[in-house]
Structure 1
Amino acid sequence: MLHPDQKPLRLASVKGMNDILPEQAALWAHFEDAAQTTLRAYGYQRIRTPIVEHTSLFARSIGAATDIVEKEMYCFTDALNGEQLSLRPENTAAIVRAAIEHHLLYDGPKRLWYSGPMFRHERPQRGRYRQFHQLGVEALGFAGPDVDAEIILAGQRLWDCLQLQGLRLELNTLGQLDERAAHRAALADYLKRHIELLDEDAKRRLETNPLRILDTKNPALQDIMRGAPRLMDFLGEASRAHFEALRRILQANGISFTLNPRLVRGLDYYNLTVFEWVTDRLGAQGSVAGGGRYDRLIEQLGGKPAPACGWALGVERILELLKENDPGARPEPHCDAYVLHQGEAARTQAFAVSERLRAAGLSVVQHCSGDGAPVRFKTQMKHADASGAQYAVIIGEDEVNSGTVTIKALRRAADALEGNAAQRRIAVECLSRDLFEKGG
């Protein structure tokens, strides 16, 4: 109980960390079902990793000079043992850590997928939050361009499943480490000759990671970037062959893409293939998904050398696009039957009816009063209709005395559940009316 001088504590969520309310959860479930179905079709298995990892995992894998590590990670010291820990800002490093720790590649390559919350301290904007959700795939132990193509095809199949339009695939190759080092030196020399035209962010990156300057969003730097040395000109024969093979597979499967020589991605661990799906419908932050190949990361984190590639998508951004596609179309929560009752005997029987229907595989909501007082059938029917139920199952004094229930359809036939609507209707009617005879 509050002290007379105390005021009630009113708390709001942390900025950029949002609640997902029941009316929003249906759209999330729609997306998650489509993703799970799609990835199962490609033989990917789900993996779940902790939200908290050692800070050194991300500093080592992502790159100490990246914006994520320098500015955006939520880091803290464990008060019990002094360990430096972080909320995960992305999940590829954690998947690789898990694969090494549990020897997942001991019996061969693995196809994995994950979903869950990530955390970055950045300015919240549309579809981009401090706690955000990613879904991604990681193909570990595969060296050839065929698996690069496979994960891109899986992404395209997911867009088709969700009926998402207007996503453009941008493609590039970063080559191998020595090729990228030669390009980086040439790029740094070029940018230093134009240093008076660079903004402060570009000048900082010139000393740490000049490749990131290539994808600057500053309009004033676009002309300079167009004249910069191209990484493609520094590639060796093997890197070119890998990229050309990938392009041929995508073209043979009808996947449209744009070559973007300035696409570098924001993480240090990428090599060879990199790609993004982008849109013009979410403002300046147009990337909704992206990834590439990271053949050195497993070795870098202490494992036996093995190639790998993957991608991740921002769930909130995809949901924004889904809502834009058809603002009126929302997968609504529903149940098959809503059980109404009045009187003590009817309430007891309502529990039996509800449990038998659930055991038959139906979704059932049983009316419960807020304060324990009796509620008129008229009021209960309003709740039943609002629930989205297909049928109202009514139990009153007459039904208790006659050993029956009354069933009322709440939806037109066109609104009935798809596929097995007739089967469910029969189950509701037969099971319900037979309950008393069977002692249910």
Structure 2
Amino acid sequence: MSADFAAPRGIPDYFPPNSADFRRVRDTLTDAARLAGYGHIELPIFEDTALFARGVGESTDVVSKEMYTFADRGDRSVTLRPEGTAGVMRAVIQHGLDRGQLPVKLCYAGPFFRYEKPQTGRYRQLQQVGVEAIGVDDPALDAEVIAIADEGYRRLGLSGFRLEITSLGDNESRGPYREALQEFLFGLDLDEPTRKRAEINPLRVLDDKRPEVKAATAEAPLLIDFLSDEARTHFDLVLTNLKRLGVPYELNPRLVRGLDYYTKTTFEFVHDGLGAQSGIGGGGRYDGLMKQIGGKQDLSGIGFGLGVDRTMLAMEAEGVAHADVARCQVFGVPLGADAKAELVGVAGRLRAAGISVDLAYGDRGLKGAMKAADRSGARLALVLGDRELEERRIEVKDLSNGEQHALSLDGLIEEVARLLG
């Protein structure tokens, strides 16, 4: 590779063998959602900047500091997607999905972009799996969404994580709480940007990661103490349903997510093996978001975003076994031009039968080709020379135990399938 080019700072490459773990994490987390009836949605990589400014919140770090925003050739302001919920809600409104059966249950996976200082577990291109359930305000649905994430992590073999959960209340709860929190914050010696944030959205101050701000707000009033009767009942039912689903949790009344649209149920999955960047996924309910971004209805929703990159780091911290990195099940070793021509056809027929096959290309000798077969992770090696070709037979070596025997080239596909089980 030329020394002149490298991946942009803070954007990881995934290639073999680590890419096998990447696919395993992504696919396992999305499979857990599909088992609960969530259909796939593919979202644009960039959207109108106003969608995220209005949906995510002007006062959030995501909007004010971290978005990749630029003018396109039509001088329109567009932004690389920093999260998935606003885009999903936009798609639901645009395509009228909210006029069908509710809830609308969708899952997605892919890259998201935030301009942050790169460090372990915090990237400028982060990979996430997300789900959104839109249109029904039901505590049982909140519990289902949380249980999907919990199940996905457990299917990957993780055990050292915990679920932290709280309620951020409804509109009736937030009015009195906002007054109490602002009264507390305005009594502190805050810098001007933080004071301005306290005026716009005081809850954002509690999400400030600076040690001095965290220390100053340690005794701030808790929103959970201001819950309305309706919000309290909702939260209690969420916890009851989590118990029914066998999902353990810890109450964390100081939990604040980094996006403005969260209401009621709010949660985060934390893994202490990751140090400062301990969050591996989280989400919550977002009542009011649809109306905020222009929807004619005001349907509620609940969802999550799970970090693929951080989940891989959590698996590494726990020593969870790596995914199978075998490139193929069968590796063909041709010894001669005519033998290679025959094996090319054999490989095509095996692939058509659903068996993964690779060949030794580049006219390698037997020793080099067998080394390549071992490195491929294949179970069987098919060795074919000109003499074997004349006799319409092929040598088959089981690379797992060294056993070797000859098979007829006629009927080979069925015999290979039998040997592979």
**Length-normalised TM-score, structure 1:** 0.88
TM-superposed CA distance for 1:260, in Å, is: 1.5
Amino acid corresponding to residue 376 of structure 1 in structure 2: G
The answer as to whether partners of 1:215 and 1:262 remain within 8 angstroms in 2 is: no
2:239 counterpart of 1:247 = yes
Distance 1:434 1:331, change over 3 A: closer
Q: Distance in 2 between matches of 1:429 and 1:261?
A: 69
The answer as to whether partners of 1:407 and 1:429 remain within 8 angstroms in 2 is: no
Name 1:276's counterpart in structure 2: 268
Aligned partner of residue 273 in structure 2, secondary structure? coil
Q: Distance in 1 between matches of 2:65 and 2:415?
A: 65
Select the residue among 94, 119, 126 that pairs with 1:125. Answer: 119
Aligned partner of residue 132 in structure 1, secondary structure? strand
Aligned partner of residue 50 in structure 1, secondary structure? coil
Name 1:343's counterpart in structure 2: 336
After TM superposition, the structure 1 = structure 2 runs for residues 164-313 of structure 1, keeping only pairs within 5 Å, are 164-195=158-189, 198=190, 202-222=194-214, 224-303=216-295, 304-313=297-306
2:348 counterpart of 1:367 = no
Name 1:20's counterpart in structure 2: 14
Aligned partner of residue 76 in structure 1, secondary structure? strand
2:310 counterpart of 1:317 = yes
Question: RMSD value over aligned CA atoms?
Answer: 2.4
Q: Distance in 2 between matches of 1:164 and 1:327?
A: 7
TM-superposed CA distance for 1:262, in Å, is: 1.4
2:149 counterpart of 1:149 = no
TM-superposed CA distance for 1:202, in Å, is: 3.8
Q: Distance in 2 between matches of 1:256 and 1:89?
A: 30
TM-superposed CA distance for 1:368, in Å, is: 0.9
Q: Distance in 2 between matches of 1:130 and 1:348?
A: 47
TM-superposed CA distance for 1:254, in Å, is: 2.9
Q: What is the aligned length?
A: 411
The answer as to whether partners of 1:356 and 1:431 remain within 8 angstroms in 2 is: no
The answer as to whether partners of 1:26 and 1:333 remain within 8 angstroms in 2 is: no
Aligned partner of residue 33 in structure 2, secondary structure? helix
TM-superposed CA distance for 1:22, in Å, is: 2.2
Name 2:391's counterpart in structure 1: 402
The answer as to whether partners of 1:30 and 1:331 remain within 8 angstroms in 2 is: no
Q: Distance in 2 between matches of 1:433 and 1:120?
A: 51
The answer as to whether partners of 2:160 and 2:318 remain within 8 angstroms in 1 is: no
After TM superposition, the structure 1 = structure 2 runs for residues 33-112 of structure 1, keeping only pairs within 5 Å, are 33-79=27-73, 81-109=74-102, 110-112=104-106
The answer as to whether partners of 1:405 and 1:432 remain within 8 angstroms in 2 is: no
Amino acid corresponding to residue 118 of structure 1 in structure 2: F
Distance 1:433 1:136, change over 3 A: closer
Query: Which stretch shifts more, 218-227 or 350-359?
Result: 218-227
What is the CA deviation profile of residues 325-369 of structure 1, one whole-angstrom value per residue up to 9, with x for unaligned ones?
226634212311111112221111111211121122211101110
Q: Distance in 1 between matches of 2:14 and 2:156?
A: 20
Name 1:5's counterpart in structure 2: none
TM-superposed CA distance for 1:395, in Å, is: 1.0
**Length-normalised TM-score, structure 2:** 0.92
Amino acid corresponding to residue 412 of structure 1 in structure 2: N
TM-superposed CA distance for 1:378, in Å, is: 1.3
Runs of at least 5 residues in structure 2 that lack an aligned partner in the other structure: 417-421
Name 2:419's counterpart in structure 1: none
Distance 1:125 1:428, change over 3 A: farther
Amino acid corresponding to residue 84 of structure 2 in structure 1: N
2:155 counterpart of 1:161 = yes
What is the CA deviation profile of residues 218-258 of structure 1, one whole-angstrom value per residue up to 9, with x for unaligned ones?
44445543322221232211111111111111123332222
TM-superposed CA distance for 1:86, in Å, is: 0.6
Identity of aligned residues (%): 40
TM-superposed CA distance for 1:182, in Å, is: 2.2
Distance 1:434 1:287, change over 3 A: closer
The answer as to whether partners of 1:357 and 1:431 remain within 8 angstroms in 2 is: no
Q: Distance in 1 between matches of 2:329 and 2:215?
A: 61
Distance 1:171 1:336, change over 3 A: same
TM-superposed CA distance for 1:434, in Å, is: 8.3
The answer as to whether partners of 1:68 and 1:89 remain within 8 angstroms in 2 is: yes
Distance 1:202 1:331, change over 3 A: farther
TM-superposed CA distance for 1:169, in Å, is: 1.0
Name 2:381's counterpart in structure 1: 392
What is the CA deviation profile of residues 100-153 of structure 1, one whole-angstrom value per residue up to 9, with x for unaligned ones?
001112112211100000000001111110011111110011111110011011
Distance 1:433 1:175, change over 3 A: closer
Q: Distance in 1 between matches of 2:89 and 2:96?
A: 10
Runs of at least 5 residues in structure 1 that lack an aligned partner in the other structure: 1-7, 417-425, 436-440
Q: Distance in 2 between matches of 1:327 and 1:253?
A: 25
Q: Distance in 2 between matches of 1:282 and 1:354?
A: 44
Distance 1:44 1:433, change over 3 A: closer
TM-superposed CA distance for 1:177, in Å, is: 2.4
Amino acid corresponding to residue 337 of structure 1 in structure 2: V
